[in-house]
Amino acid sequence: MRMTTAGTTIDLNADLGESFGPWRMGRDAEMLDIVTSANVACGFHAGDPVEMRRTVALCREKGVAVGAHPGFRDAEGFGRRRILGLSDEELTTLMLYQIGALQAIARAEGAEVTHVKPHGALNNMATEDRAMAELLVAATRAAGPDLTVVAMPATAFEHAAQADGGPYVAEVFADRAYADDGTLVPRGTPGAMIHDADIAADNVLRMIDEQAVVSLNGKRIPVRPQTVCVHGDSAGAVAMAGHIRARLERAGVTVARFA
């Protein structure tokens, strides 16, 4: 069903807290003036305990929702390499360990973890594998029944979250291209990344207006976007995120956290 963007409410999220010790990634403080939800790296693919605490404190200060961003234990590959052969117990514990660590830090900072969005390869695999998606949803519920699962629409991950019946939101990406099955075109593929802020903003407005994403091959995939991911780890990330938010607001979209 086609709808107008005016009067719509949408959340903007970014993956943050990815620095480690003296090594810095991204401009998190500036991004947190733009986005309404933050997915905080939990130390496996990126980040560390001190960075997690600093990021949560900034989120609390700026009124941004705090979410856990668990990934594979793969700092060298930034969590973007697929790790195969993990047992159900290992995958469940991988999720619980990271979510629980952020929950403890959030409590200490007077904040609350409101949502969970798996990172990188862990997320991508769940969009394709229903059994794995169900396991990640169940692990999230075990960590907290009120935690919102952030899932890509029209994928196995969304179907698992819907079947579970607990809170979830559908996430679309501002700066990524889509394959015909609703998953993301792999990084490194020509056209997979969108670097032009105007094109990214046009895509987001079209997704909201038409309730669909269009794949790289032109296929329309019905979706109901509730949150838009703007990546925070590229050179022009802050400028792109700010431009997208400004375009949304000019179109009459209210940008607000979903939690």
**Rg of the chain taking only CA atoms, in angstroms:** 17
pLDDT of 2 > 50? The answer is no
Task: Summarize pLDDT for 87-141 with one digit per residue, the tens.
Answer: 999 999 999 999 999 999 999 999 999 999 999 999 999 999 999 999 999 999 9
Residue 82 in this model has a pLDDT that exceeds 70 = yes
**Position 4 pLDDT exceeds 70:** no
Q: DSSP class of residue 29?
A: H
> pTM of the predicted model, to two decimals?
0.94
Token output for 204: 């987001």
Fold of 9-255: TIM Barrel (3.20.20)
**Residue 184 corresponds to which amino acid?**
L
All residues at 6 or more sequence positions from 153 whose CB lies less than 8 Å from its CB, including other chains? 170, 171, 172, 182, 221, 223, 224, 225
* pLDDT tens readout for residues 137-190: 999 999 999 999 999 999 999 999 999 999 999 999 999 999 999 999 998 899
Q: Quick check: helix, strand or coil at residue 11?
A: strand
* 20: confidence class by pLDDT, cuts 50, 70, 90: confident
User: Taking all residues of the chain, what is their mean pLDDT, rounded to a whole number?
Assistant: 94
Structure confidence at residue 25 as a pLDDT band (50, 70, 90) = confident
Whether the per-residue pLDDT at 233 is higher than 70: the answer is no
Q: Cα separation of 228 and 258, whole Å? A: 11
Sequence ranges of the domains in the chain? 9-255
Note the pLDDT of residue 117. Answer: 98
Helix (H) or strand (E) holding 255, with range, is: strand 254-255
Paired sense of beta strands 212-214 and 220-222, if any: antiparallel
Q: How far is CA 18 from CA 72, 154, 158, 255, in A?
A: 14, 28, 26, 24
**More confident: 7 or 132:** 132
